[in-house]
Structures are given as C-alpha cells and as structure tokens.
Structure 1
C-alpha cells in the first residue's frame, strides 16, 4: 500500500501511521504467534529475501520520487502490485520451522 500510494502524500502518510500502529500493537501483544519476533524466528531465507526486496523498493522509491516528475500513478500502482505479489508468493512457501519440523 505504501508503494501504490507514493504519489499521494496524504494517503502515504495515513498508510504509514496505520503500519506504525500495527507494529506498536504487535510489540504489546507478546504472547501471540503473530508478533514480529515470532515472525522473524519462523521466516526462512525466502521470506527474508522477499521482505528485503520490498524494503529496498520502498527506499529506492523514496530516493527517486522527488527526482522523477514523469512517472505516472499507474507506475506506482503497478510497483505496489509487484511488491504485493512477491510477498504473497513468499508467504505461500515453507518457512524455516516448516522445513525443519
């Protein structure tokens, strides 16, 4: 969502606030298997690689966005869909705990 809303500062800021709120809640709820430390323990190299690609895409977008006035909203939406598909595909693959179990 952050990538696809990059051309709209208000929407991008709102999505970032929601993400920060979700991360904050996951730190408070320590007994759930959906916390960040639990996900970090369970993820394998495939999931971490997909996360790295998504994170690098966000950082590259933040660097190049001010320099590129010619990119259309469709480009950002397509890039957001590509990042989503990469993360969705990685989530369907076995994690580290599924492989070792």
Structure 2
C-alpha cells in the first residue's frame, strides 16, 4: 500500500484524531537509544494535531509489582485534554 495522497482525507488530516509519532520508529532505533543510555525515551509516542503540534506524549511501563502504568505528558491546556479509560474488552 502506498502513502501517496489520494484526495481522500484521513481523520489525521481533518483533525478528528491526533497522529501518532513514535520516538523510535523501529527496533534498530530502540537499540540505538539504549546504547546511548536513553532508556527513558524508549516506547514514547507523541500525538500531533493537524497542524503538526504535539498535543501529548504517552508511554506505558510496568511498575515493580507488575502493574501497567500509563504516563501522559500534556502540552495543551488542562481543559483541552480529557483522558477516558475504556475497560471493555476489545473484540
């Protein structure tokens, strides 16, 4: 599949969804970050609005007890980012 424009707008183009931008786009980039003692950067994803501005950065990690924790760093006003948790299983 090609990433060439087709004239059709995606939810990223219209601003309905923020576009994910991986800090390391693949395994080699992750290994390189680890080699340079940048472990804290591994697994982070920026979400950008339709103008290319970062809305938030998100990553998930396990704590010492094995519980997953999601970290969200917001770059917009507190009233402009709502976090909604969905506990229904994905089918």
Same fold per superposition (TM over 0.5): no
Q: Please indicate the TM-score interval, normalised by the length of the shorter structure.
A: under 0.3
TM-score (norm 2): 0.24
Greater strand share, structure number: 2
Higher relative contact order (CA 8 A, sep 6+): 1
